[in-house]
Structure 1
Amino acid sequence: MRKTPENQPPDTQKSRSASHEARRNERESAADRAIPLPSHLVGSGSLDRLVDTARDYARAATAENTNKAYTADWKHFTRWCRLKGTDPLPPSPEVIGLYLTELTAPQGKAPAMSTSTIDRRLSGLAWNYAQRGFSLDRKDRHIVAILAGIKRKHARPPAQKEAILPDDIRAMVATLPHDLRGLRDRAILLLGYAGGLRRSEIVRLDRSKDDTPDSAGWVEIFEDGALLRLDAKTGWREVEIGRGSSEQTCPVHALEQWLHFSKIDFGPIFVRTSRDGKRALDTRLNDKHVARLIKATVLKSGIRAELPEAERLALFSGHSLRAGLASSAEVDERYVQKQLGHASAEMTRRYQRRRDRFRINLTKAAGL
């Protein structure tokens, strides 16, 4: 008797299903890595190096975290298509409209997505289609009408993380030990706070220019402070971090202490340490370390202790450092805008949790 899918053992069916899924994902990954070439150039060994370099440039066109998000977007969409019995290729505005609709009210235990996440998910699909040689018309009436309705019905003001204020950051660094890991983490918190840095900008700093290919900037230390040259979202920018009034909370002193005791004079600045905590390794820290460090020190320092632990953890993230600088620095707004690397003052104001919103009173200025 020949075995059919119906009379095969369940484990065999699952194995074949998993194997089929793996082959499909492999084909999609291969499509991601491929760079189309004119037919008369295909197979030319002399172009292999240029193809590899071009592929690296193509990946570098968007930030690493953006690439990861877009990859996850495509996997989620293609899985949804398979469950619904449809094909993700070529792009169908009607199918994508239905997909966006389900994101607002998914079946099962999956939470509904915010409108900003849905917007990002649509951008991810458009990018993925472009990589596969297709064009997704985001202005198609099916997509435009459904997306407008979703925003009208479900849009909410963006949820903002709480700012870390001066007393908070002092309490947080006070919880850190004075071993090698403590020196590193103290420098991360103080440098990120005083520089208004994103967590990816912190961990991708190198000791000097052109030390590593995955660097996003480097540091120069002077008598009066440190100068950071960063390759950020809005392009290259310089961030000046002056020395503080106390060595306990001075970001430049903390950085010098870490570099001295870790013996780092080349390559990534913020790296992992050995298990015994006595040696700095060569491996660059992941930006998630910054988020975990912030949450851990918030708990240890007792910030917002009146709230349950889960709520306290949800209030703070890597952006809390940037919001803290924007909310606490008593200087002209334009200097804060420059430090954060914002293109507009309006974006900077979104980070300011404490500011006099009515300093300019247009009601009185209008004579009322």
Structure 2
Amino acid sequence: MAEPVGRELVPAEFSAADLAPHPDDFGDALRSRLAAIDSASDSHAEDLRPHNTARGYASDWRTWQQFTAHAGIPVTAAGRGTLRGFVTWLWEEQRLAYATVDRKLSGVVVTLRREHQVPVTPEDTKAARRTLRDLQRRAAERGEVPRGRGKAPAMRIDALRAIVAACPDTLAGLRDRTTVLLGFAIAGRRHEVAALLVRDLVLEEGRGLVVDVRVSKTHPRVVAVPYGERKETCPVRTWLAWKDAAGLHDPGSPALRRMHRLGGVTRAGLSPQSVGTVITTAGQRAGVPIRFTGHSVRSGMLTEGRRAGKDRRALQAISGHADGSKVLDGYLQIADRWNDQDNGLAGIGL
């Protein structure tokens, strides 16, 4: 027989305190067991973390260790002053680019919180970022050349057509053409394109491909890729041609493959780095005077989509950007800056 205790029903022989003791009242055996669960959970979460992310955090932590050794402070001494000192050291002594300093700051803060249980406050992190912005502003006032490579150049439609036309009429050329067009169609990052499996691309007759972008550092998504207006730049027809020519029958195998030196298809899929190399090489082969990178197909699709008047939400559905994404805003501004409606100088009678 049960009787009410507060909002719960508990057996009459137990009290609510017996069923829900305060953590301060846990016994040593229970504390030990919970600690083991926490440790196992941390290990599992680490295993699930993308390899590139884990590798980046490890590199950021080594940089922090160098700074703390240079400053003569413990690695766990993370406060407003030390974080400001860190970004200043990276900017002035190591001469790193703004984006690199910002990323390393993020990596160090994450590692301090997760691995060392150091309670770095958001206010302290914001203070360090304000210092970094001030350092960048002062460098610009002194006339310093901007650091870093900047944003990846967008692969516009005219360049895409030239690249596709320049791919040789070979199996390797068909693979390259497929890589570029699929990457463009799904606004894919290098690792997203490299991770595609044969089963992730499903043909809907008369409509196009449904592409399941399962592996993403932000938002996995499903992208509907319609048949293209031009046969030569149609991602759907190109994929079907590559799939047939390469004999991709195993649904669990990589969609994009490495090639033998003699021109045959291997079982191994392209790595993210290889996807970037294919895109860069394809642009160079076409004689395009811009050095495209793996990210160029992503920025190119978003830029061209906006230029064609596509709605922001339609673009987000393809790229996986979150609502209000400042990164997406940057892509859209590239397309909007010459638009009559968005350019304040256009059509005013100059």
Task: Tell me the TM-score normalized by structure 2.
Answer: 0.73
Q: What aligned pairs does 1:333-352 form with structure 2 within 5 A after superposition?
A: 333-334=311-312, 335-344=314-323, 347-352=327-332
Question: 1:57 aligns to what SS in structure 2?
Answer: helix
Match of 2:69 in 1: 82
Match of 1:257 in 2: 241
Corresponding residue for residue 53 of structure 2 = 66
> Which residue does the alignment assign to 1:57?
45
Q: Which amino acid aligns with 1:69?
A: G
Change (3 A) 1:43 1:354: closer
Distance (whole Å) between structure 1 residues aligned to residue 134 and residue 157 of structure 2:
39
Kindly indicate whether residue 136 of structure 2 is the aligned counterpart of residue 154 of structure 1.
yes
Q: Any stretches of 5+ residues in structure 1 without a counterpart?
A: 1-36, 209-217, 305-311
Cα deviation digits, residues 260-308 of structure 1 (max 9, x gap):
2222223221222223221322x2321112222222222221212xxxx
Distance in structure 2 (CA, Å) of the matches to 1:349 and 1:40: 49
* Distance of 2:329 and 2:126 partners within structure 1: 30
TM-fit CA distance, 1:77: 1.5
Counterpart residue number, 1:294 = 279
Superposition pairs for residues 132-211 of structure 1, below 5 Å? Answer: 132-139=115-122, 144-155=126-137, 159-208=150-199
The secondary structure found in structure 2 opposite 1:228 is strand
d(CA) in 1 for partners of 2:34 and 2:311? 55
Q: Which amino acid aligns with 1:271?
A: R
Q: Contact 1:69–1:124 (CA<8 Å) still a contact in 2?
A: yes
Residue 69 of structure 1, CA deviation: 1.6
Map Cα deviations across residues 21-70 of structure 1 (whole Å, 9 max, x no partner).
xxxxxxxxxxxxxxxx98745999xx9xx94x86343342x444322221
Name the counterpart of 1:7.
none
- Residues 313-346 of structure 1 show CA distances to partners (whole Å, capped at 9, x for unaligned) of 3xx3222212222222324323223222222366
Residue 263 (structure 2) aligns with: 277
Residues 285 and 136 (structure 1 numbering): CA distance in 2 closer, same or farther, change over 3 Å?
Answer: farther
Note the C-alpha offset of 1:219.
1.7
For residues 56 and 186 of structure 1, the distance between their equivalents in structure 2, rounded to whole angstroms, comes to: 38
- Amino acid across the alignment from 2:317: K
Distance, in Å, in 2 between the alignment partners of 1:153 and 1:276 is 52
Query: CA 1:361–1:179 in structure 2 vs 1: closer, same or farther (change >3 Å)?
Result: closer
**Structure 1 residue corresponding to 2:310, chosen from 332, 335, 342:** 332
Displacement of 1:111: 2.7
Separation (CA, whole Å) in 1 of partners of 2:323 and 2:339: 17
Percentage identity across paired residues of the two chains:
24
Give the secondary-structure state (helix, strand or coil) at the position aligned to 2:254.
Answer: coil
1:176–1:182 Cα contact (<8 Å) kept = yes
Structure 2 spans left out of the alignment, 5+ residues:
1-28, 141-145
* Cα displacement (A) at 1:205: 0.9
Q: What SS does the aligned partner of 1:132 have?
A: helix
Match status 1:126 vs 2:109: yes
The alignment's TM-score, normalised by the length of structure 1, stands at 0.70
